Amino acid sequence: MSTIPVDSVVKPVIEVTELRKTYGHGETAVHALRGVDMTVWPGEYLAIMGASGSGKSTLLNVLGCLDVPTSGAYKLDGISVGTLNERQLSLVRNRKIGFVFQSFNLVPRTTALSNVELPLIYAGLRRKERRQRAAAALAMVGLADRAGHRPNELSGGQQQRVALARALVTGPAMVLADEPTGNLDSESTAEVLNVFDSLNRSGRTIVMITHEDHVAAHAARTVRVSDGQIIEDTAQWRTTGALT
């Protein structure tokens, strides 16, 4: 893995400081996040783990700009998320984050190519450029020959790779994957994880939420969450002050 000097011009993709999220008030308040600090650098492959109720889903929602923290600071690719209105948050989600979900979320009656195009339609790109970029994203995940197939004509692993191509097509700062192998058999899981591994080797930043140790083992760094706090972070620091 490459070494990234802390004082270099490289900026973190994710910079979270004293992040807190509370639902409700008074005695019934639920403190889902309790002062989370975390930095993710470009090119990192990070797995976030935790039991049900640990706060990892809340952290996912905040990192994905799907929810806002009660207090604390969150910078995504240098942008201070807490200062954005709903329209600006929507633009950040579309341009800075590529989402991959457990359930694929593909449009059933449209082709793989059309599914991958969707974020580019929202971004206002012309059809020719959309098609070119969608085709390139499908090729990136090894599905160039399945561009004209509908989801029901694809295996589970292939459907998830289409979803991954859709996540990549906007050139996001990071891919945020929520239990991406949760609905897959062992063969399809290996297939999808191989694609994630290859993307990371090419420099893609990946943040993956998972409860499975064998899935997390593909990541170079693991963060464990419990009771709204980070209790373990395997990021390794050298005495020179560099992330390795």
Interval 81-97: pLDDT, tens? 988 898 999 889 988 99
Using alpha carbons, select from 78, 45, 19 the residue that is nearest to residue 177: 45
Under the banding of pLDDT at 50, 70 and 90, the label for residue 239 is very low
What integer is the mean pLDDT of 129-144? 96
pLDDT at 135 over 70: yes
Q: What does pLDDT average to over the chain?
A: 90
Among the listed ranges 91-95, 116-120, 136-140, 144-148, which one has the minimum average pLDDT value?
A: 91-95
**Confidence label for 3 from pLDDT (cuts 50, 70 and 90):** very low
Mean pLDDT of the 153-165 span: 96
Q: Provide the 3-class DSSP secondary structure of residue 163.
A: helix
Residue 180 phi, psi (nearest 5): -65, -15
**14 pLDDT higher than 90:** yes
Residue type, 237: W
* Residue 1 confidence (pLDDT) above 70: no
More confident residue, 173 or 236: 173
Report, as an integer, the average pLDDT of 47-76.
93
Q: Where are the domains of the chain?
A: 14-22+30-108+172-235
- Residue of 67, 73, 79 lying closest to 11 (CA atoms): 79
Fold classification of 14-22+30-108+172-235 is Rossmann fold (3.40.50)
Question: What is the arithmetic mean of pLDDT over 220-243?
Answer: 77
pLDDT at 236: 59
Check residue 133 and give its pLDDT: 96
Can you say whether residue 104 is alpha, beta or left, with left for phi > 0 and alpha for psi between -120 and 50 degrees? Answer: left
Of 112, 110, 208, give the one whose Cα is nearest residue 161. 112
Reported as a single tens digit per residue, the pLDDT across 186-208 is: 999 999 999 999 999 999 999 99
Predicted confidence at residue 238, as pLDDT, reads 34
Instruction: Calculate what percentage of the chain has a pLDDT beyond 70.
Output: 93
